[in-house]
Amino acid sequence: MHPFTYAPVADAAGAAARALAGAQFIAGGTDMLQLLQENLVQPQELADLNGLGLAGITEEQDGALRLGALTRLQKAADDPLLRERCAVAAEALAASASPMVRHMATLGGNLLQRTRCLYFRDVSTPCNKRQPGSGCSALEGENRHNAILGGSEHCIAVQPSDLPVALVALDAEVLIQGAGGAERWVPVEGFHRLPGDTPEIETVMQPGDIILAIRIPAHATRWRSHYVKARDRASFAWALCSAAVALRLDEEGRVAELRVAAGGVATKPWRLMRVEQELLGHRLDRDRVRLAAVWASEGAVTRPGNAYKAPLLQHTVERAILELGGLA
C-alpha cells in the first residue's frame, strides 16, 4: 500500500474542498481497502466521511423513503419500513456480501463499488478501466463473469452491486451534493454510465460530489417487489445474474405498473423495458411470463465464457416474476 494522509471531514463543504484538493473519500472502507491493498488506487489523501451524519432511513411526508448514504447495508436490510414496503431492496441487501461486510459497507459506497472484473483487479494485466488505452483483457480472456449487455469494444466489466439493481426497479433517485453546495437528484437508472470508449468514467459523479441519500418514491413503496440472485454458491458470492421486479396489479389482476431490472449481466444495472411492455395490461400466467422473459436477453453480445448468461438471464427474470406473482 502506498503512503497516504488521512483526516475526517466535518461537513459536506469540507469534504468537497478536500476532494478538489486531490483526496479520495472513504466511508465503510470495504471496497477502498481492497483497492488500496491491491494498488488499484493510490490516493495521496483519504477524507473520512463517517462524521457527516448521513445514516438512517426515514419516511418523508409524501410516503417516500429516504435512505441516508452512510446507512450500513445490514442496518438497511433489517429496517422494518424497507422490508415491508420495498422488499426487493431489503432482499438485495441481505443477499449482498457477508454479514461482516454488511455491517461495515455503506449504501452510498455500494452504488460506487468498483467492478470485480478479474483484469481490473489485477494490476499485472491490461485494463482500459484501470489504465485507459491499455486494452481489455476480458474480451478474449477469462470472461465468465463479464457482461453480455451494455459492453463496448473497450470494456465488458460488470457493475457488481445488488442494491442499485433493486433501486432501478423501484424507480429510485440518488441525491448528490455538488462541490459548490448545490443538490441534485439523479435517477439510479441514469447514475452509472455505459463504458463506451471511456470505461474509466463509471458514474455521473463529478469531482467533489457527495452522495447524501437515496430516495424511493411513494408510488414504488406501494408496489410488491422481489429480488432473485443466481450465483456460484448459495451465499457470499457475486451475482452471475440477478433480477429485480416491482409490480402493481389493478383490481382485475392485470399488470398496471411493472419495472424489471437485471444485475450481474450488464455493465450497469440494466432495465428490461421490453419485458415490462410484454406484460403491461395482462394477467400474469406462466406461459405469458415465460415468453416475456425471453426478451430479457435482447441485444446480448455473448462470448465463449459468458454465453451461458443469456439463458440464465431469461430464466432468472422468469423466476422472479413468477415468484412475485405467486405462480412459482
Partner 1 sequence: MPEPSQNFSLTLHVNGTEHRVAVDARTTLLDALRDRLHLTGTKKGCALGQCGACTVLLDGRRVVSCLMLAVMAEGRQVTTIEGLAQGDDLHPVQAAFVEHDAFQCGYCTPGQIMSAVGAIREGRAGSDDEIREQMSGNLCRCGAYTNIVAAVRDAASREG
Q: State the minimum distance, in angstroms, from the CB of residue 187 to partner 1.
A: 30
Q: Return all residues near 108 (Cβ < 8 A) that are at least 6 apart.
A: 27, 54, 69, 70, 210, 211, 214
Q: Are strands 173-177 and 57-59 parallel, antiparallel or unpaired?
A: unpaired
Nearer to partner 1, 11 or 285 (CB): 11
Based on the shown chain and the rule CB under 8 A, indicate whether residue 217 belongs to the binding site for partner 1.
Answer: no
For partner 1, which stretch binds (CB under 8 A), given 5-13, 208-216, 254-262, 273-281?
Answer: 5-13
The CB density around residue 133, as the number of other CB atoms within 10 Å, is 9
Among 3, 133, 304, 326, binds partner 1 (CB under 8 A): 3
**DSSP-derived 3-state class of residue 323:** helix
Task: Give yes or no for a contact between 293 and 275, defined as CB atoms under 8 angstroms apart.
Answer: yes
Q: Are strands 57-59 and 65-68 parallel, antiparallel or unpaired?
A: antiparallel
Among 13, 29, 41, 219, binds partner 1 (CB under 8 A): 29
Please report, in angstroms and rounded to a whole number, the separation of the first and last CA atoms in the chain: 49
Cell 481492497 identifies what position? 34
Q: Return all residues near 117 (Cβ < 8 A) that are at least 6 apart.
A: 127, 129, 138, 145, 146, 156, 157, 158
Count residues near partner 1 (CB under 8 A): 36
Based on the shown chain and the rule CB under 8 A, indicate whether residue 30 belongs to the binding site for partner 1.
Answer: yes
Among 34, 63, 249, 282, binds partner 1 (CB under 8 A): 34
For partner 1, which stretch binds (CB under 8 A), given 34-42, 60-68, 186-194, 217-225?
Answer: 34-42
Nearer to partner 1, 162 or 173 (CB): 162
Instruction: Write the interaction track for partner 1 spanning residues 76-115; mark x where CB under 8 A is met and - where it is not.
Output: ---------------------xxxxx-xx-----------
Q: What are the residues binding partner 1 (CB under 8 A)? A: 1, 3-10, 14, 18, 23, 26, 29-30, 33-34, 36-38, 45-48, 50, 74, 97-101, 103-104, 234-236
